[in-house]
């Protein structure tokens, strides 16, 4: 695991420099001015605020702008806690892969082997779940077809894993298991149920014992079904489908609709620590890490791919970075690292249901790992040809970008 220098992060200031391994020298220096430009653009497009924190071998670069709280006018800063949405999927995968390494799970065994209630197809393997190739329908397509009403309907509800799975299995499979890639939150709800069924402990305890405490992630928590974000947090703002209406403060919620697919709370520093530890091999044996980072392209030009609970992006400079995106009501997150974990970056904008902001925020990858300002060509997404946008929530519902 990397040695971390301690201190307060100020915008655009390098706080500490340690000896950098030679393998990190191939990466260009981060372009902090380009990060600032990306954030300004995201805020112009509707995000109240944004933050980016880069950890380059314990040299820190922090940039933040806009507001963390529109009611009080509190300024955004890089130390804020926030809901990380689908970045949770990588944490869930690490726990599951540790169970694989302990001999308790076979990735290619039927998932039903490890479940209290079987899925409708015995052909679905654990690997299919982790790689979004199960064919299980994403129940959030129904739950959030209408963004704000859907959110308000579940904001304070508590679901069991099985209740969410049942919402999915009320629909037929979307494809033959293993035949293709189709992003579905249901997959990682099933992963959470497997973890709890095998260990006899809540996923919250597994996250804490296996990841949060060993890495000293003091700003990371899984508080389901509590609704508050403790400490210095950024509030989150959900854009209605009718964009003439004001943003909705969506900070407090159980996130019970997502749980092991999207309910972790963290900070930029903690996410950088997590991905640095994961990619450098501190959390898993090399054989398990290789499984996670074995990628299959999910778009036509191969610039985007998915492994096991992990995304990869091939950037314009030829560098491939690994991590995950996260969408939860009121927050967009991009958390990625270089292949060896020597440089990590987390960016957050405190809005959602605004695909233009999410796409723009992804430009911090180019600025961080290529040292260049992102171009229109480098901001490719999985958007529909008609200009629509799909998110990690309700991924089959196409929404407007503007």
For the annotated catalytic residues, the residue numbers are 86
The answer to whether residues 135 and 174 touch, using CB atoms and an 8 Å cutoff, is: yes
Establish how many alpha carbons lie within 13 A of residue 24's alpha carbon, considering only the half-sphere containing its beta carbon: 21
CB 41 within 8 A of CB 47: no
Q: Are 115 and 354 in contact (CB under 8 A)?
A: no
As to burial, measured by CB atoms within 10 angstroms (0-12 exposed, 13-18 middle, 19+ buried), residue 102 is exposed
Q: Kindly report whether the peptide bond that precedes residue 327 is cis, defined as omega within 30 degrees of 0.
A: no
Classify burial at 108, counting beta carbons within 10 Å of its beta carbon; exposed 0-12, middle 13-18, buried 19 or more.
exposed
9 token code pair: 């992060």
Give the orientation angle of helix 185-199 with respect to helix 88-101, to 10 degrees.
40
Q: How far apart are the first and last CA of the chain?
A: 42
How far is it, in rounded angstroms, from Cα 120 to Cα 396?
21
Nearest CA-CA partner of 395 in 191, 183, 168: 183
Identify the burial level of 286 via C-beta atoms within 10 angstroms of its C-beta, where 0-12 means exposed, 13-18 middle and 19 or more buried: exposed
Ordered DSSP codes for 266-300: EEHHHHHHHHHHHHHTSSS-HHHHHHHT--EE-ST
Q: Nearest Cα to 400, choosing from 44, 45, 35, 38?
A: 45
CA distance 81 to 217: 12
* Among 93, 61, 101, 102, CA closest to 309: 93
Place of tokens 């197809």: 121
**33 token code pair:** 């001015």
Please, what is the angle between helix 161-169 and helix 185-199, to 10°? 140
Residue 197's H or E segment, with its range, is helix 185-199
């Amino acid at each position: 695991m990397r040695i971390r220098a301690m201190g307060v992060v100020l915008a655009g200031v390098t706080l500490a420099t340690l000896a950098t391994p030679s393998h990190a020298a191939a990466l260009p220096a981060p372009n902090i001015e380009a990060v600032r430009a990306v954030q300004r653009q995201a805020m112009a497009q509707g995000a109240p605020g944004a933050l980016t924190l880069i950890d380059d071998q314990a040299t820190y670069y922090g940039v933040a702008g806009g507001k963390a709280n529109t009611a009080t006018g509190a300024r955004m800063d890089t130390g804020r806690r926030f809901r990380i949405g689908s970045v949770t999927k990588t944490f869930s995968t690490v726990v599951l892969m540790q169970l694989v390494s302990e001999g308790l799970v076979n990735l290619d065994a039927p998932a039903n082997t490890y479940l209290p209630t079987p899925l409708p197809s015995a052909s679905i393997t654990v690997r299919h779940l982790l790689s979004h190739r199960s064919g299980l329908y994403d129940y959030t397509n129904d739950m959030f077809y209408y963004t704000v009403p859907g959110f308000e309907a579940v904001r304070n509800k508590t679901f069991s894993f099985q209740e969410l799975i049942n919402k999915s299995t009320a629909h037929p499979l979307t494809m033959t298991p293993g035949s293709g890639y189709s992003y579905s939150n249901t997959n990682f709800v099933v992963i959470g149920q497997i973890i709890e069924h095998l260990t006899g402990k809540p996923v919250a305890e597994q996250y804490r014992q296996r990841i949060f405490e060993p890495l000293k992630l003091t700003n990371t928590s899984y508080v389901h079904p509590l609704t508050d974000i403790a400490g210095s947090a950024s509030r989150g703002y959900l854009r209605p489908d009718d964009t003439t209406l004001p943003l909705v403060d969506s900070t407090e919620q159980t996130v019970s609709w997502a749980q092991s697919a999207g309910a972790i709370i963290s900070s930029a520093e903690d996410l950088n620590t997590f991905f640095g530890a994961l990619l450098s091999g501190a959390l898993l044996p090399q054989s398990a890490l290789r499984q996670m980072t074995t990628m299959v392209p999910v778009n036509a030009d191969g610039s985007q791919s998915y492994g096991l609970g992990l995304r990869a992006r091939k950037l314009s400079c030829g560098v491939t970075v690994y991590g995950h995106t996260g969408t939860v009501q009121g927050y967009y997150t991009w958390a990625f690292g270089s292949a060896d974990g020597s440089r990590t970056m987390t960016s957050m904008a405190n809005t959602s249901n605004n695909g233009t902001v999410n796409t723009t925020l992804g430009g911090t990858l180019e600025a961080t790992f290529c040292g260049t300002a992102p171009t229109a060509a480098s901001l490719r997404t999985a958007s529909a040809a008609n200009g629509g946008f799909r998110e990690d929530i309700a991924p089959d519902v196409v929404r407007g970008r503007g």
